[in-house]
């Protein structure tokens, strides 16, 4: 049978680190592609040379030829540009739409059976675009943001309380960015809601820090953006699918009426397994939480309209 074949498109910071994590977790053989000549080949070779030390058998292959993704069961899209000085969010939207749209067309023709995890920003809009351009069933197209946002929330909860991150679970809904909706009531330490363990002002401070989590790192790094936690998040989603773990995670998925939303991508809890998005979990939300989720979906709709 052999190992499953996995592909990572875009061999930049998030892409290359995702390839590393997939190989080290022995989730499958990895193909890493990029348009920059020699770069994915160089990074893949470097990673392959770490295999004897890290002790994995998975192969990692770098290429500029996207057709080599053929037969992949799971594909992670990290290809795109970061915002440069003088570039508006709209400029970035259109530029990344061009890149991600082309990638989606290649996936449709070379890996028609793949499950696709989108990482490129603006996340929810790019996930919509991949769904539209591949024509794949909506269970097989999802965006990674909520796993990262809830990992950040979990980290800050553990830091605040001085407890093991392993005991902390958290749920964050909505879009990636300002419209993110952290849910303290559904966030726990060993089953105890954090609302029982922390005063409201500390919960608010931690929620705000989570919402601002990407920007905090960008500010510190001065160039580039976060990639260790984003790649760990993408790899966690790949693992849930490849190993059919039925993990309950937040992901940007196509809604068909859940939470009063239809024909839009938004971050909600889902069950992730071999069938992709196997179930969408509808949590009871307060009016405020629901309103934030709808605001976030409205923003995504605005971007979707620009993409046509």
> In the complex, which residues of this chain contact ligand TXD (CB under 6 A)?
9-15, 33-36, 78-80, 82, 99, 102-103, 119-121, 123, 144-145, 148, 176, 224-227, 230
User: Which residue, 195 or 225, has its beta carbon nearer to ligand TXD?
Assistant: 225
Q: How far apart are CA 180 and CA 51, in angstroms?
A: 38
Q: How far apart are CA 172 and CA 252, in angstroms?
A: 11
CA 271 to chain centre: 15
Strands (E), 146-261: 168-169, 172-174, 180-182, 188-189, 192-193, 247-256
User: Which residue, 33 or 210, has its beta carbon nearer to ligand TXD?
Assistant: 33
- Whole-number minimum distance, CB 185 to ligand TXD, in Å? 23
User: Which residue, 100 or 198, has its beta carbon nearer to ligand TXD?
Assistant: 100
Strands 5-9 and 180-182, bridge-based pairing: unpaired
Catalytic residue among 110, 131, 138, 176: 176
166, burial (CB in 10 Å: exposed 0-12, middle 13-18, buried 19+): exposed
294 is catalytic: no
- Whole-number minimum distance, CB 196 to ligand TXD, in Å? 29
User: Which residue, 45 or 192, has its beta carbon nearer to ligand TXD?
Assistant: 45
Nearest-CB residue for ligand TXD: 12
- Whole-number minimum distance, CB 96 to ligand TXD, in Å? 6
- What pairs with residue 61 in β-bridges? 31
Contact 169, 187 (CB under 8 A): yes
- Whole-number minimum distance, CB 38 to ligand TXD, in Å? 12
Instruction: Please identify every residue annotated as catalytic.
Output: 176
């Amino acid at each position: 049978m052999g190992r499953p074949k996995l592909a990572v498109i875009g061999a930049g910071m998030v892409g290359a680190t995702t390839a590393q994590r997939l190989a080290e977790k022995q989730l499958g053989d990895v193909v890493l592609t990029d348009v920059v000549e020699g770069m994915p080949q160089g990074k893949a070779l470097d990673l392959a040379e770490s295999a004897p030390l890290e002790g994995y058998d998975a192969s990692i292959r770098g290429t500029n030829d996207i057709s080599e993704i053929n037969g992949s069961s799971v594909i992670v899209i990290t290809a795109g540009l970061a915002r440069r000085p003088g570039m508006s969010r709209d400029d970035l939207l259109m530029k990344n739409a061009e890149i991600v749209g082309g990638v989606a067309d290649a996936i449709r023709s070379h890996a028609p059976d793949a499950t696709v995890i989108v990482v490129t920003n603006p996340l929810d809009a790019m996930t919509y675009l991949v769904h539209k351009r591949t024509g794949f069933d909506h269970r097989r197209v999802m965006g990674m943001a909520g796993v990262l946002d809830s990992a950040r929330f979990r980290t800050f909860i553990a830091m605040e309380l001085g407890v093991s991150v392993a005991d902390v679970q958290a749920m964050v809904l909505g879009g990636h960015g300002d419209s993110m909706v952290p849910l303290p009531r559904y966030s726990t330490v060993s089953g105890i809601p954090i609302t029982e363990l922390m005063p409201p002002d500390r919960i608010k401070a931690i929620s705000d820090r989570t919402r601002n989590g990407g920007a905090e790192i960008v500010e510190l790094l001065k160039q580039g953006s976060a990639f260790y936690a984003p790649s760990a998040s993408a790899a966690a989603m790949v693992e849930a699918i490849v190993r059919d773990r039925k993990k309950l995670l937040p992901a940007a998925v196509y809604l068909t009426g859940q939470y009063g939303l239809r024909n839009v991508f938004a971050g909600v809890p889902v069950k992730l397994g071999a069938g992709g998005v196997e179930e969408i979990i509808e949590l009871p939300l307060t009016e405020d939480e629901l309103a934030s989720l709808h605001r976030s979906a409205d923003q995504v709709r605005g971007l979707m309209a620009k993409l046509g």
